[in-house]
């Protein structure tokens, strides 16, 4: 049995874990990172990156199909296109491969030792790793738990056969003719839309009254409209009961009673649950917050010298939150004074069109007692949106009525995900409406809508 | 798993509701047995509420500043074992558990000082308040980093940027000059900022009590000057000869004993008036309230049974109570039940005050500063130590004549202090 000691041990090489290890390495901390699969975690290997690749391929294919249908005004004519899904997947795998080897390279450059295998806690400061070459013991002064999360499995729809999780959906070799997506959250809608564009007949089954329940009605409206245009059927207030007897259909119960929906594949995307048990974690008796590990503003768990970051610590389960936490923890371990003081964790939903949100929505701000000004500027009045044949959506700013301090920024529309940088920057910097309005935004871009929204909140938008 | 509800305890006789002044936990927090979870304030004292069970907080019964009725649910805790909510959701059917919650039985009451909480200004939205998340100091990430590296809490710094944004220069200025120095600003400038502060805790109690006293009681205030030269000589002598275990005497114990003597001749003055019922209750006991400034505001600790205490005893008890009130450890009993009150602003100077009666009492005696003044003794001006007494009375009960009689009696006794100590 081999034994190594280090100052910092990071368990899990997802975005949070690898960012923590790289930063620790930069700071000269003797660091070991343990990963059971490929470096990069859910995000790089079976989440954000592959799904965005698939979404992009689907959009390109769909655009081409639209042109072939003779339905475009731009004068482009193409013959009937076709898609080789295996080829698409190979291209996607290539991107994933480049990124995971990139992460390995970055870890090595930062002099982080990578141990491949599944870690198991022996005690708070010691883990055993089952590696290909036998058992490896790692002792560390400080441990960071970055074990991530798994897709939630529905008791009525266990994974296997036709029932798949997002992981399998991102590696399908054959196009499902009829795909049912259980769960109208962002994962379900992103993948459902992509498969619809690739040619599947898609049905979304959502248990609550609306899809994307975390966003307000204004932001969702362009998305639901587009779902309908794409022929995606959406059943709200509808529960998945289980597979039919033959196993080739999903039984659902909605306001109109039970019915069977025939399906070739059923994608269960009803959320993710933290990997906070297993690996001997339960023996450590760390304080919990629901299913998550409880952390304080420095990502410390209830046990001295053990930190936790990323999905295992709770919502929002987003890679960029984990990265920021990981970087912070590395600096704390290096003796710097750090604490979580971010003003917002922006989020994006890569649906069609995209939704981006940073800070407070108008109703959230009002619920917190703020008297607010809201400015909303539609892309129908934006030149760039017209030239891109996609005028759906708007940019919205929420500000304090007394000081014009920007509390929140949201947008829905094609390509608005890239506006998220401006949104979160505005909030972190503590800008006021006048700051955004007084900044030149390039013409012609969609970002002009941000400046106009700020002007509109102050009552003098120029282009509406 | 069970649910345990902690109800607003019965914090004192006759108290029907208490104000929530602090939550020490939030929803989702784990709690251990005996941990303090909340602080509530009654008329006078702050009471900390402990939890008798371990578990996780799942519900809070109000926001800071809310008034909560006794026995109303205050907090719900999810416990490992059976809770108290399994079979009986009605609040009143839980006598045994609620009984345990009485601080008298459960845990010693601590009364920490709770200053009024300033709340960021939100126009026209009285009850909901901005979350702590957004009330963080307004500063860019680089400024926050600078502050953290320098070990500075940004909440200490007043931002000079737009919307109160804390600039790098503000932090550098703070590092160089500390908190006291005003923010660097050239010349005179208009200030347009407003800050709304929601009254909570003791400050709100004081406001309510003062409104009650001033709106219901028609005050008559009577001021007289008293020659305390002899009293001051006596006091100096007594202090010079005091034993090691005796407290240093101030003027107040003498005044207390003087009042005991005077009210024995005018019992209407040592009384409480229930104006709703139209009943005046003369009190045999003389419980003297001493208006005391504490860090969180005005409180009135009570020297009980001043009629049965020697002057040394009065002094010792007064010192003990004043200290307890200032440190926030005075109990509710020590802060209620006075029958007549002394208000002393003498140390700050001032020649006259108009004291507000401590409702439902009928009289308050205010002490002004002692000053050496020239007094005409019939032949010449002589330097005498003079002190004004500014006293207010409930004019519904006390006629002007009676008020004047009382104050003149106090004056006579204080000017010839031997009379204070004569029996009968």
Number of structural domains chain A divides into = 3
Is the ipTM reported for this complex over the cut 0.85?
no
Same domain assignment for residues B309 and B275? yes
CATH number, domain at A224? 3.50.50.60
Same domain assignment for residues B231 and B123? no
Interface residue of B80, B163, B198 to substitute, partner A, most A CBs within 10 Å: B163
Question: Does A119 map to a domain?
Answer: yes
CB-based contact B140 A429, cutoff 8 Å: yes
Tell me, yes or no, if B28 comes closer than 8 A to chain A by beta carbon: yes
**Cα dihedral B98, B101, B105, B109 sign:** negative
Binding-site residues of A for FAD, please?
A: 52, 147-149, 311, 317-320
More confident site: A259 or B8: A259
Confidence (pLDDT) at A363: 95
Residues of A in contact with B171 (CB under 8 A): none
Same domain assignment for residues B399 and B295? yes
Residue B316, domain extent:
202-421
Same domain assignment for residues A451 and A363? yes
Same domain assignment for residues A96 and A9? yes
Residue A317, domain extent:
2-53+86-150+273-333
Chain B stretch 131-150, residues whose beta carbon is closer than 8 A to a beta carbon of chain A = 131, 134, 136, 138-141, 144, 148-149
Question: Does B339 map to a domain?
Answer: yes
Final residue in a domain of this structure, among A226, A241, A270: A270
Same domain assignment for residues B301 and B398? yes
CB A270 within 8 A of CB A183: yes
More confident site: A404 or A74: A404
Tell me which long-range contacts B323-326 makes (C-beta under 8 A, separation of at least 24). B325/B292, B325/B294, B325/B299, B325/B301, B326/B292, B326/B294, B326/B295
- Residue B82 binned pLDDT confidence (cut-offs 50, 70, 90): low
Kindly report the nearest CA distance between residue B1 and chain A, in angstroms: 14
CB-based contact B162 A287, cutoff 8 Å: no
What pTM value is reported for the model? 0.62
- Residue A357 binned pLDDT confidence (cut-offs 50, 70, 90): very high
CB-based contact A371 B122, cutoff 8 Å: yes
Kindly report the nearest CA distance between residue B73 and chain A, in angstroms: 23
Residue of B nearest to A345 (CA): B133
Tell me how crowded residue B107 is: count the other CB atoms within 10 A of its CB. Answer: 16
Confidence (pLDDT) at B189: 75
Same domain assignment for residues A188 and A118? no
Catalytic residues of B: 395, 399
Side-chain-side CA neighbours of residue A248 (13 Å)? 3
Question: Does B112 map to a domain?
Answer: no
CB-based contact B125 A343, cutoff 8 Å: no
Residue of B nearest to A403 (CA): B163
Chain B stretch 329-368, residues whose beta carbon is closer than 8 A to a beta carbon of chain A = none
pLDDT of residue B360 exceeding 90, the answer is yes
Same domain assignment for residues A222 and A251? yes
Q: Which of B128, B149, B161 sits opposite A369 (nearest CB)?
A: B128
> What is the pLDDT averaged over residues B96-109?
40
Same domain assignment for residues B209 and B189? no
Final residue in a domain of this structure, among B73, B106, B139: B106
Kindly report the nearest CA distance between residue A303 and chain B, in angstroms: 15
CB-based contact B165 A430, cutoff 8 Å: yes
> What is the pLDDT averaged over residues A433-444?
95
Binding-site residues of A, please?
A: 52, 147-149, 183-190, 206, 271, 311, 317-320
Q: Tell me which of A134-148, B59-73, B203-217, B323-337 is least confident.
A: B59-73
Tell me how crowded residue A327 is: count the other CB atoms within 10 A of its CB. Answer: 19
Q: Which of A287, A339, A371 sits opposite B125 (nearest CB)?
A: A371
Residue of A nearest to B127 (CA): A369
Question: Does A418 map to a domain?
Answer: yes
Kindly report the nearest CA distance between residue A424 and chain B, in angstroms: 11
CATH number, domain at A415? 3.30.390.30
Confidence (pLDDT) at B109: 41
Q: Tell me which of A244-253, A434-443, B56-65, B92-101 is least confident.
A: B92-101
Same domain assignment for residues A260 and A120? no
Interatomic CA distance for residues B114 and B103, integer angstroms: 19
pLDDT of residue B265 exceeding 90, the answer is yes
Q: Which of A287, A336, A341 sits opposite B136 (nearest CB)?
A: A341
pLDDT of residue A324 exceeding 80, the answer is yes
Residue of A nearest to B132 (CA): A368
Residue of A nearest to B129 (CA): A369
> What is the pLDDT averaged over residues B291-296?
86
pLDDT digits (tens, 9 = 90+) for A76-99: 888 889 999 999 999 999 999 999
More confident site: A10 or B106: A10
pLDDT of residue B126 exceeding 50, the answer is no
- Residue B73 binned pLDDT confidence (cut-offs 50, 70, 90): confident
Same domain assignment for residues B218 and B149? no
- Residue B185 binned pLDDT confidence (cut-offs 50, 70, 90): low
Question: Does A73 map to a domain?
Answer: no
pLDDT digits (tens, 9 = 90+) for B361-375: 999 999 999 999 999
Question: Does B124 map to a domain?
Answer: yes
Confidence (pLDDT) at B90: 40
pLDDT of residue B379 exceeding 50, the answer is yes
Percent of chain A whose pLDDT exceeds 90: 89
CB-based contact B130 A341, cutoff 8 Å: no
Binding-site residues of A for NAD(+), please?
A: 183-190, 206, 271
CATH number, domain at B97? 2.40.50.100
Question: Does B415 map to a domain?
Answer: yes
Final residue in a domain of this structure, among A227, A245, A270: A270
CB-based contact B138 A341, cutoff 8 Å: no
Same domain assignment for residues A389 and A288? no
Confidence (pLDDT) at B36: 82
Number of structural domains chain B divides into = 3
> What is the pLDDT averaged over residues A331-344?
95
Same domain assignment for residues B145 and B293? no
CB-based contact B136 A369, cutoff 8 Å: no
Q: Which of A339, A402, A432 sits opposite B162 (nearest CB)?
A: A432
Would you give the DSSP letter of residue A319?
H
Same domain assignment for residues A42 and A142? yes
């Amino acid at each position: 049995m081999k034994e190594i000691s280090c100052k910092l041990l990071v368990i899990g090489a997802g975005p949070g874990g690898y960012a923590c290890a790289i930063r620790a390495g930069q700071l000269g901390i003797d660091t070991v990172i343990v990963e059971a699969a490929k470096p990069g975690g859910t995000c790089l290997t079976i989440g954000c990156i592959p799904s965005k690749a698939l979404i992009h391929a689907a959009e390109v294919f769909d655009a081409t199909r639209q042109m072939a249908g003779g339905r475009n005004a731009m004068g482009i004519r193409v013959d009937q296109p076709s898609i080789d899904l295996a080829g698409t997947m190979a291209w996607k795998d290539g991107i994933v491969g480049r990124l995971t080897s990139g992460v390995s390279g970055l870890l090595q450059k930062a002099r982080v030792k990578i141990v491949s295998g599944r870690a198991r806690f022996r005690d708070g400061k010691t883990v055993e790793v089952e590696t290909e070459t036998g058992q490896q013991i790692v002792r560390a002064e400080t441990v960071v738990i970055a074990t991530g999360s798994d897709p939630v499995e529905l008791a009525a729809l266990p994974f296997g056969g036709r029932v798949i999780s997002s992981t399998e959906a991102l590696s399908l070799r054959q196009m499902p003719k009829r795909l049912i997506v259980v769960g109208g959250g962002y994962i379900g809608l992103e993948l459902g839309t992509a498969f619809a564009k690739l040619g599947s007949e898609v049905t979304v089954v959502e248990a609550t009254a609306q899809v994307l329940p975390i966003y307000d009605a204004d932001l969702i409206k362009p998305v639901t409209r587009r779902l309908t245009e794409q022929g995606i059927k959406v059943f709200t207030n509808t529960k998945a009961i289980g597979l039919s007897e033959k196993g080739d259909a999903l039984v659902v119960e909605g306001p109109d009673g039970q019915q069977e929906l025939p399906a070739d594949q059923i994608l269960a995307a009803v959320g993710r649950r933290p990997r906070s048990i297993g690996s001997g974690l339960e023996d450590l008796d760390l304080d919990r917050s629901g299913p998550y590990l409880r952390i304080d503003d420095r990502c410390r768990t209830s046990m001295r010298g053990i930190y936790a970051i990323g999905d295992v610590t709770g919502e929002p389960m987003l890679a960029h939150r984990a990265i920021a936490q990981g970087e912070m923890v590395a600096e704390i371990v290096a003796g710097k004074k750090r604490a979580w003081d971010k003003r917002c964790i922006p989020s994006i939903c890569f649906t069609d069109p995209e939704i981006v949100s940073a800070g407070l929505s108008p109703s959230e701000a009002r619920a917190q007692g703020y008297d607010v000004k809201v400015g909303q500027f539609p892309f129908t009045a934006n030149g760039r949106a017209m030239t891109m044949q996609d005028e759906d959506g708007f940019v919205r700013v929420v500000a304090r009525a007394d000081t014009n301090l920007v509390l929140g920024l949201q947008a829905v529309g094609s390509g608005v995900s890239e506006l998220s940088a401006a949104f979160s920057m505005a909030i972190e910097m503590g800008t006021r409406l006048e700051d955004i309005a007084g900044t030149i935004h390039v013409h012609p871009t969609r970002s002009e809508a941000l400046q106009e929204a700020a002007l509109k909140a102050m009552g003098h938008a120029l282009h509406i | 798993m069970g649910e345990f509800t902690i109800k607003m305890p019965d914090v004192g006789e006759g108290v029907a509701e208490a104000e929530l002044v602090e939550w020490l936990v939030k929803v989702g927090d784990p709690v251990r047995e005996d941990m303090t979870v909340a602080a509530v304030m009654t008329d006078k004292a702050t009471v900390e509420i402990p939890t008798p069970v371990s578990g996780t907080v799942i519900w809070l019964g109000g926001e800071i500043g809310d008034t909560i009725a006794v026995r109303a649910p205050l907090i719900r805790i999810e416990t490992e074992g059976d809770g108290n909510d399994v079979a009986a959701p009605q609040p009143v059917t839980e006598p045994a558990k609620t009984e345990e919650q009485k601080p008298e039985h459960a845990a010693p009451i601590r009364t920490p000082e709770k200053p009024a909480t300033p709340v960021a200004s939100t126009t026209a939205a009285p009850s909901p308040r901005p979350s702590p998340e957004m009330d963080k100091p307004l500063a860019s990430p680089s400024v926050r980093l600078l502050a953290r590296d320098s070990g500075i809490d940004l909440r200490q710094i007043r931002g000079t940027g737009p919307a109160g944004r804390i600039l790098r220069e503000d932090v550098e200025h703070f590092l160089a000059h500390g908190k006291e120095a005003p923010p660097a600003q050239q010349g005179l400038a208009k200030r347009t900022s407003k800050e709304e502060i929601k009254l909570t805790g003791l400050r709100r109690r004081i406001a309510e009590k003062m409104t009650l006293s001033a709106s219901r009681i028609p005050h008559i205030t009577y001021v007289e000057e008293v020659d305390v030269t002899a009293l001051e000589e006596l006091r100096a002598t007594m202090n010079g000869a005091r034993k090691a275990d005796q407290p240093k005497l101030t003027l107040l114990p003498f005044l207390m004993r003087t009042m005991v003597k005077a009210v024995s001749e005018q019992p209407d003055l040592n009384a409480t008036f229930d104006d709703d019922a139209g009943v005046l209750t003369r009190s045999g006991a003389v419980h003297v309230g001493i208006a005391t400034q504490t860090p969180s505001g005005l409180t009135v600790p009570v020297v009980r049974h001043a009629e049965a205490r020697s002057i040394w005893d009065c002094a010792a008890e007064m010192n003990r109570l004043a200290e307890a009130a200032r440190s926030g450890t005075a109990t509710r009993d020590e802060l209620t039940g006075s029958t007549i009150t002394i208000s002393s602003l003498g140390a700050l100077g001032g020649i006259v005050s108009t004291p507000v009666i401590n409702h439902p009492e009928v009289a308050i005696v205010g002490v002004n500063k002692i000053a050496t003044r020239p007094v005409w003794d019939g032949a010449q001006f002589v330097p005498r130590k003079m002190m004004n007494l500014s006293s207010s009375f409930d004019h519904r009960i006390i006629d002007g004549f009676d008020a004047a009689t009382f104050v003149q009696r106090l004056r006579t006794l204080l000017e010839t202090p031997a009379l204070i100590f004569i029996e009968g």
